[in-house]
A = this chain, B = another copy of it.
Amino acid sequence: MVEFFIGIDIGGTNVKIGCFDSDLKLIAKTSITTGAGMGAVVVVGNIAEAVHSLLAKAGLSIDGVCAVGLGTPGPAKYGEGIILSSTNMPKFRNVPIRRMLSKKLGKPVMFDNDANVACWGEYVAGAGKEVEDMVFFTLGTGIGGAIVNHGKLLTGCDDNATELGHIIIYPDGRRCNCGQRGCVEVYASASWTAQRATEAVEADAKSSLKEVLEENGEITCKDVYEHLAKGDELAKRITDETAKALAILCINMLHTTEPSRIVFAGGMIAAGDALLDRIKHYFDEGIWTLKKESVEICFAALGEDAGIIGAAALAKQAKQQGKIA
């Protein structure tokens, strides 16, 4: 029988679902509103319905589905299959999501962190294809991280390794929502980029972003990069600060797990070379001189599909290794 794998990527706003063949080629995909406010039972029911409808449209039967991969934000007990809590899905507390989804679909479910899942997607099919050792960052509301070490996702003693957005780079710096001071997230995530620009404009920095704030009542990260392209000095200063923080993060990761490639993903990479070139500049400026480093710093290749591809790929791997029944 032909075998399929389903990849599911639950986010605070949308759930993305993909159906892949055994070579992990995408057959069909869909996206539904998460509707997290309706609680986990409804959400899982909607996801199961969307899976069935996706398969039906593609002329496939659920019987051919070999395994399902699921990625969600943490904190969670991934090993036990439980979402502990979620800043974007407040009704999700101690939800045994793996068991719920597995029961609903009648299929084994592999469950992991959303950053791990997206990282794995890029690793098997995107910007990390040719390497064995990779570090991955998603630049969104926060900063997520994942590490592939010798071809495997790095995990720690519990379920919370590679929370790379909370690496401290300015010990006496800004307070992060996590309670720490000076996390890289506070200097380089999309939401904090917007926040820092807003604060500067409110403190009367000269900038074309002032009009944006007056007209729209807010400055977004996208605004910052648009005004950077137009040569705005404040946008330049904010971007330099962001890029320097990310470069320090790259240097610190190089001295820790020594990747051969560092991949940035997430909405913020739409900023393009204006951001990437600056990260590389600060990396070259900041890295040690003891030896020449050849690590490649680049942007992700798969866009929004990384999560569903990675989830399906992890499901396939777990099935093959007999880790899910």
Q: Give the Cβ gap from A294 to chain B, nearest Cβ, in Å.
A: 9
Q: Smallest Cβ distance from A167 to chain B, in angstroms?
A: 5
Given A131-B157, A150-B155, CB of A290 within 8 Å of CB of B260: no
Q: A132, B157: Cβ atoms under 8 Å?
A: yes
- Chain B nearest Cβ from A76, distance in angstroms: 11
Beta-carbon nearest neighbor of A180 in chain B: B288
Q: Would you call B154 and A286 a contact (CB within 8 A)? A: no
Q: How far is the CA of A25 from the CA of B145 in the complex (A)?
A: 42
**Nearest CB in chain B: distance from A268 CB, A:** 20
Let me know if A244 and B287 touch, CB within 8 A. no
Contact of A291 among B75, B154, B162, B168 (CB under 8 A): B75
Contact yes or no, B291 A160, CB < 8 A: yes
Distance, CA A168 to CA B170, complexed state (A): 9
Closest chain B residue to A84, Cβ basis: B291
Chain B contacts for A26, CB-based, 8 A: none
Cα–Cα distance between A289 and B183 once the two chains are bound (Å):
13
The interface size bin for chain A is 35 or more
Minimum C-beta distance from A123 to chain B (A): 14
Q: In the complex, which residues of chain B have a beta carbon less than 8 angstroms from the beta carbon of A257?
A: 154, 156, 161-162, 256-257
Residues A286 and B171 in contact in the complex (CB < 8 Å), given A133-B157, A157-B131, A291-B160? yes
A169 within 8 A of B: yes
Determine if B171 and A244 form an interchain contact, defined as CB atoms under 8 angstroms apart.
yes
Give A164 Cβ to nearest chain B Cβ, in Å.
7
A256 interface neighbour in B132, B167, B179, B180, Cβ under 8 Å: B167
Return chain B residues, CB-CB under 8 Å to A161.
Answer: 255-258
B169 in contact with A75 (CB, 8 Å): no
CA distance A244 to B181 in the complex (A): 13
> Is A13 interfacial (CB 8 A cutoff)?
no
Compute how far the CA of A155 lies from the CA of B133 in the bound complex, rounded to whole angstroms: 10
A163 at the interface (CB under 8 A from B): yes
Judge whether A158 is part of the interface by a CB distance below 8 angstroms.
yes
Residues of B within 8 A of A253 (CB): 256
- Whether B157 and A252, one on each chain, are in contact in the complex, defined by CB atoms closer than 8 angstroms, is no
Q: A171's closest neighbor in chain B, by CB?
A: B248
Distance A178 CA – B171 CA, assembled complex (angstroms): 21
Query: Given the complex of chains A and B, what is the CA–CA distance between A248 and B251 in angstroms?
Result: 16
Contact of A168 among B251, B258, B260, B290 (CB under 8 A): B251
* A287→B178 CA distance, assembly (Å): 9
List the 3 closest A-B pairs by CB distance, nearest first: A156-B258, A179-B289, A161-B258
Interfacial residues of chain A within 217-261, with CB under 8 A of chain B in the complex: 244, 248, 251-253, 255-260
Contact B291 A181 (CB under 8 A): no
Q: Which of B155, B160, B171, B288 contacts A166 (CB 8 A)?
A: B288
14 more contacts with CB within 8 A, not counting A131-B157, A163-B255, A181-B286, are A133-B156, A149-B154, A156-B257, A156-B259, A157-B258, A157-B260, A160-B258, A162-B258, A168-B251, A168-B286, A176-B288, A178-B289, A256-B257, A257-B257
